[in-house]
Amino acid sequence: MDSTLTACPSALDAPTGSAAPWRGAVVRVLLFLLLGVIPAVGQVRKDGTVDWNRYYSSGESRAIMATWCEAKPDLARLVSIGKSYLGCDLWVIEITDRRTGRAEEKPALYVDGNIHSGELTSGALALYFAGYLIHSHGRDPRVTKLLQTHTFYVRPKFNPDGADATLLRNIALRSSVRPVDNDGDGIADEDPAEDIDGDGFISLMRIADPKGDRVASPEDPRILVRRKKTDKEGPFYRVFREGIDNDGDGRLNEDGLGGLDLNRNFPRNWALPFRQPGAGPFPLSEPETHATVRFIVDHPNITGIVHNHTSGGFVFRLPSASDPAAFDKEDLGTIATFAKKFTALTGRPVRPSSTHPTRHRYGTLISWAYWDRGIIGWVPELWPGIGKSRLDALRYQDEHLAGRDFTPWKPFDHPTLGRVEIGGLRTRFLVQNPPPELLEKECAVHVPWLLYLAEQAPRLKLEDVRSARREDGAIILTATVRNTGFLPTHLTRRGFLSKVQRPVAGRIEMEGADLIEGSRRQDLGHLAGQRALEGMPKERAKMLRWVVRPTPAGGTATIVVSSDTGGTVRSKPIALAHDD
Ligand SMILES: [Zn+2]
């Protein structure tokens, strides 16, 4: 199989490697075209629905999102925030009801998936969630209301190159596809695993060996388990991934495609690869991570981050990539509130990403987002798997999937190892990700918590907008601005102390009147949310006051309040009549 990737494949380019799923997709598109079941592009049916029990490539995901945006231009917009290593666009779908205000003027939740290539469920969830929001608008009052006041930035394919390498080329991959010299021989990516028996899959190879560390499971001999000291009766095996020793160094498959870990490439608490494998040569060396940081900094309305991964069936919470003892206790309290809700809504547990002062990850997205932007981020590890072990997964695919994920062990003459057997359990759509038949169900589990998180954002509201005539004919304008959200406008103590979020300000816009008391723009500082944080602003509301004198023809005034995180809110125009 050709594992060299040099250019972004366009949506309808057939990949060069083995790609049964892709050929299936092309056949389906042609069938649908002939039968007129779906429009010409993408997988969106005429009624706006999508088959969610399918994994979509980057090209298909883009086509699906483009179809939504075309159908609902007031609700969804597709934005490219940069290019991947191979030059593919990094698409974000921006979702909000634009009739009630611009996306940048509303608090926003950022949701992505598929930073890690093989973790296809995470990309599927992001796309599903975008579809859920768009399809529910006008049908579900909660979503309809939420989209009037909030924005979602959803990015299904953080790493489109790697995600497509896994889905379309059947390459086992975590990293991006930038070549990395994993074995230090001066050549990158020269010894990948390969489909040497040509059955379309890279499976396992086993070699009978009295010193082997594997043995057939006593419960089901098709599965190999670790040999115990007490296991005296073989046969015992050594197990490798399918492939040959391309570079002749005596090791098999030790330098395959890529090797960078994009979620170790973020700047806060980044560490060199000797400490953090996959970190890359320097922070933000990769176009995918650089575009992410640029996008989040350029969108200060982002109040929360959900950075989806697969698998495990839990969520990683902060702290991540830092000493837990250095983490703010008040912010941990906020995190605990959201975490409790995660368990209540999904039935799944929460785990800290970092539990040791130094033995932790380095250079993760959510660590950067917290320390440098004051934003609380989450790493859901989707898909709890089937049962408790591979044996359960094996039985499930026997009973429900016609045995399609197990390849019986078959003899093969390997060029350097001699007689081996190739076969075993294929785990990609069984253990690592759900079988497509269970994908929609898995995605649906997460929607209520994502909606909940969005609803916790700070949100400014204007109350008691009043005008009163003074004895001298001038008009006193007053209004109260309130943060009705759960989070304060500085999001976290970290946000407040690092002064990254622009606080609340009120301003008056006038025609046909002169300002005689009060500054046109009034800084109000930050407003607390429902949860008051120790040592932080306590007030949730503040008053604005101006005195204006209308011209003889009369005029109007509009009060505008805004903050980076709580949105921008305008009063209705206030008529200012001259006092005759
Ligand atoms: Zn991951």
Separation of 261 CA from ligand 1 center, angstroms? 9
Residue 500 CA neighbour count, 13 Å, CB half = 21
The reported pLDDT for the residue numbered 317 is 98
Separation of 115 CA from ligand 1 center, angstroms? 7
Separation of 100 CA from ligand 1 center, angstroms? 36
How many domains, in total, are found in the chain? Answer: 3
**Six-digit token pair at 425?**
């359990």
230: Cβ–Cβ under 8 A, 6 or more apart, which residues? none
* Statement: residue 22 has pLDDT above 50: no
CA dist 9 and 86 (Å) reads 8
Both 377 and 402 in one domain: the answer is: no
The reported pLDDT for the residue numbered 11 is 41
What does the pLDDT average to over 303-314?
98
Confidence of residue 579 (pLDDT cuts 50, 70, 90): confident
Separation of 118 CA from ligand 1 center, angstroms? 8
Separation of 173 CA from ligand 1 center, angstroms? 11
Both 278 and 371 in one domain: the answer is: yes
The reported pLDDT for the residue numbered 48 is 82
On whether residue 491 sits in a domain, the answer given is: yes
On whether residue 177 sits in a domain, the answer given is: no
The reported pLDDT for the residue numbered 4 is 57
Separation of 121 CA from ligand 1 center, angstroms? 10
The reported pLDDT for the residue numbered 47 is 82
What does the pLDDT average to over 415-438?
96
CA dist 78 and 92 (Å) reads 6
The reported pLDDT for the residue numbered 303 is 98
Residue 467 CA neighbour count, 13 Å, CB half = 19
CA angle 98, 103, 109 (to 5 degrees): 125
On whether residue 481 sits in a domain, the answer given is: yes
Query: Who wins on pLDDT, 34 or 47?
Result: 47
Query: Who wins on pLDDT, 3 or 158?
Result: 158
pLDDT tens-digit series, residues 483-502: 999 999 999 999 999 999 99
Both 568 and 443 in one domain: the answer is: no
β-strand partners of 507: 521, 560
Confidence of residue 25 (pLDDT cuts 50, 70, 90): very low
Separation of 78 CA from ligand 1 center, angstroms? 25
How confident is the prediction for the chain on average, in pLDDT?
92
Hey, CA dihedral for 39, 40, 42, 43, is it positive or negative? positive
* Statement: residue 19 has pLDDT above 90: no
Both 407 and 464 in one domain: the answer is: no
| DSSP symbol at 533 | P
CA 236 to chain centre: 42
Separation of 143 CA from ligand 1 center, angstroms? 29
Kindly list the distances between the CA atom of residue 211 and the CA atoms of 227, 231, 413, 520, in Å, as whole numbers in the listed order: 10, 11, 21, 82
Q: Give the structural domain span for 31.
A: 20-171+259-383+435-455
Beta strands in 328-456 (DSSP E): 350-352, 376-382, 406-414, 418-425
Separation of 87 CA from ligand 1 center, angstroms? 22
CA dist 66 and 514 (Å) reads 48
pTM over 0.85: yes
Q: Residue for token digits 């921006």? A: 94
CA dist 489 and 481 (Å) reads 12
CA dist 96 and 132 (Å) reads 13
**Beta-carbon count within 10 A of 93 CB:** 28
Both 284 and 394 in one domain: the answer is: no
What does the pLDDT average to over 426-446?
97
* Statement: residue 108 has pLDDT above 80: yes
**Percentage of the chain exceeding pLDDT 70:** 93
The reported pLDDT for the residue numbered 548 is 97
| Phi, then psi, of 327 in degrees rounded to 5 | -85, 140
On whether residue 560 sits in a domain, the answer given is: yes
Separation of 81 CA from ligand 1 center, angstroms? 21
Both 556 and 480 in one domain: the answer is: yes
| Phi, then psi, of 131 in degrees rounded to 5 | -65, -40
Separation of 393 CA from ligand 1 center, angstroms? 21
On whether residue 32 sits in a domain, the answer given is: yes
Separation of 306 CA from ligand 1 center, angstroms? 13
CA dist 389 and 130 (Å) reads 33
Separation of 466 CA from ligand 1 center, angstroms? 53
* Statement: residue 541 has pLDDT above 50: yes
Separation of 465 CA from ligand 1 center, angstroms? 49
On whether residue 365 sits in a domain, the answer given is: yes
Both 527 and 491 in one domain: the answer is: yes
Q: Which of 20-34, 122-136, 221-235 has the lowest mean pLDDT?
A: 20-34
Asked if residues 206 and 214 have their Cβ atoms less than 8 Å apart, the reply is yes
Check whether the bond before 434 is cis (ω within 30° of 0): no
Both 283 and 252 in one domain: the answer is: no
The reported pLDDT for the residue numbered 42 is 59
Separation of 19 CA from ligand 1 center, angstroms? 23
| DSSP symbol at 476 | E
CA 317 to chain centre: 14
Separation of 10 CA from ligand 1 center, angstroms? 25
Separation of 259 CA from ligand 1 center, angstroms? 14
Separation of 264 CA from ligand 1 center, angstroms? 11
On whether residue 198 sits in a domain, the answer given is: no
β-pair type (151-155, 76-83): unpaired
Separation of 174 CA from ligand 1 center, angstroms? 7
Separation of 310 CA from ligand 1 center, angstroms? 6
Both 472 and 442 in one domain: the answer is: no
Separation of 405 CA from ligand 1 center, angstroms? 23
Separation of 556 CA from ligand 1 center, angstroms? 54
**Percentage of the chain exceeding pLDDT 90:** 88
Q: Give the torsion through C-alpha atoms of 222, 224, 230, 231, to 10 deg.
A: 50
The reported pLDDT for the residue numbered 36 is 39
On whether residue 245 sits in a domain, the answer given is: yes
CA 371 to chain centre: 19
pLDDT tens-digit series, residues 392-423: 999 999 999 999 999 999 999 999 999 999 99
Separation of 60 CA from ligand 1 center, angstroms? 22
* Statement: residue 18 has pLDDT above 90: no
Confidence of residue 1 (pLDDT cuts 50, 70, 90): very low
The reported pLDDT for the residue numbered 10 is 53
Both 140 and 236 in one domain: the answer is: no
The CATH number for 520's domain is: 2.60.40.10
Burial class (CB in 10 A: 0-12, 13-18, 19+), 64: buried
Query: Who wins on pLDDT, 209 or 18?
Result: 209
| Phi, then psi, of 208 in degrees rounded to 5 | -65, 130
CA dist 371 and 355 (Å) reads 17
| DSSP symbol at 511 | E
Both 123 and 272 in one domain: the answer is: yes
Both 532 and 467 in one domain: the answer is: yes
* DSSP H helical ranges for 253-374: 287-298, 329-346, 365-373
Q: Residue for token digits 């602003």? A: 537
| Single-letter amino acid code for the residue at 431 | V
Q: Residue for token digits 């973790």? A: 119
The CATH number for 62's domain is: 3.40.630.10
